[in-house]
Amino acid sequence: MKGTYDKAFENVIRLRVMSVLMVNEFFDFNSFKEIMDVTDGNLATHLRKLENEGFIGVQKTFIGRKPQTNYRATEEGKLAFQKHLDFLSALINENNI
């Protein structure tokens, strides 16, 4: 079967984070929170998991006096996510006989 199943993406929040980062160079914490309708702690836990895997990078800046945390997909993360999508696609196609 083509692709590779990656347990890092089996959670829907992490799957959605990577989906957003595949089409956006950067995305900030508050925007993620808003579109996903999750708590700060829940989102932070899933972002940290992806960061620890090396799949996303974090950039902390200030806008005026307010801190802003931006996330981006790393090359390793993009590759791993694409392999995961390829696996899911092959799985779906395999079962469409």
Q: Residue 1: what pLDDT?
A: 60
Mean pLDDT of each 10-residue bin along the chain, 97 residues long: 87 97 96 95 97 97 92 98 94 76
Nearest-angstrom CA–CA distance, 39 and 77:
24
**Distinct helix (H) and strand (E) counts, the chain:** 4, 3
Q: Residue 6: what pLDDT?
A: 93
The candidate with the shortest Cα–Cα distance to 56, out of 32, 35, 38, is 32
Could you tell me if 59 and 72 are in contact, meaning their C-beta atoms sit under 8 angstroms apart?
yes
Give the orientation angle of helix 40-52 with respect to helix 12-23, to 10 degrees. Answer: 70
Q: Residue 60: what pLDDT?
A: 94
> By three-state DSSP, how is residue 62 classified?
strand
This prediction has a pTM of 0.89
Sorted by where each starts, the structural domains of the chain and their CATH numbers stand as 7-91 (1.10.10.10)
Q: Residue 55: what pLDDT?
A: 98
